[in-house]
Chains A and B, each alone.
Chain A
Amino acid sequence: MSDHAAFRDWAAAYVLGSLEAAERSEFETHLASCDECRARVAEFAPIPGLLSRVEPVDNPPVPGAIAELAVEQVRSDWTALRRSRTRWRSAAVAAAVLVIGLVAVLGLGLQDDPGQTLEVKSEAATTGHVVLISKTWGTEVEIDLQDLPADDHFVAWVVSTDGGWEQVAAWGPTPLNGARVTGASSVATSEVESVVITTGDDRHPVASATAHSDP
Chain B
Amino acid sequence: MTANHDQPPDAEALVRRLHDEHASSVLAWIRSRSADSHDAEEIVAETLVKAWRNYQQFDPARGNERAWVFGIARNVANDHYRRQARNLRLVAAMEVGDLVSDDVAQVAEASVVHDALMDLSDNHRQVIVEAYFSGRPVREIGERLGIPAGTVKSRLFYAMKALRASLEERGILQ
**Chain A interface (Cβ < 8 Å from any Cβ of B):** 8-13, 15-20, 23, 40, 43-44, 46-48, 50-51, 53-56, 58-63, 65-67, 69-71, 73-75, 77-78, 81-82, 85-86, 89, 123-124, 149-151, 199, 202-205
Contacts and interface: CB of A to CB of B under 8 A. Distances in A.
A86 B167 CA distance: 47
A78 B133 CA distance: 47
B123 interface: no
A83 B15 CA distance: 21
Contacts of B136: 18
B49 A204 contact: no
Contacts of B23: 62, 66-67
Contacts of B25: 59
A41 to B, nearest CB: 11
B124 to A, nearest CB: 11
Q: Report, as a range, how many residues of chain B touch the other chain.
A: 35 or more
B172 A75 contact: no
Contacts of A55: 114
A74 B12 CA distance: 7
Interface stretch (B61-69, B81-89, B90-98, B152-160): B152-160
Given A18-B136, A50-B172, A70 B113 contact: no
B19 interface: yes
Given A151-B56, A204-B56, A18 B44 contact: no
26 contacts: A9-B154, A12-B159, A15-B160, A16-B128, A16-B132, A47-B167, A48-B132, A50-B110, A50-B167, A51-B113, A53-B109, A62-B19, A62-B24, A62-B27, A65-B41, A66-B45, A69-B41, A70-B49, A71-B16, A73-B45, A77-B49, A78-B11, A89-B2, A124-B54, A199-B56, A204-B56
A11 B164 CA distance: 13
Given A8-B157, A55-B114, 5 more contacts: A20-B139, A47-B163, A56-B117, A77-B53, A89-B2
A78 B53 CA distance: 11
A108 B52 CA distance: 46
Contact of A70 (B2, B6, B15, B106): B15
B110 A54 contact: yes
B131 interface: yes
A156 B100 CA distance: 34
A39 B42 CA distance: 47
B27 A66 contact: yes
B6 A85 contact: yes
A59 B156 contact: no
A143 B133 CA distance: 58
A64 B104 CA distance: 25
Interface in B114-148: 114, 117-118, 125, 128-129, 131-133, 135-139, 141
3 smallest CB-CB distances across A and B, nearest first, come from A70-B48, A69-B45, A12-B160
Contact of B45 (A70, A150, A199): A70
B160 A59 contact: no
B35 interface: no
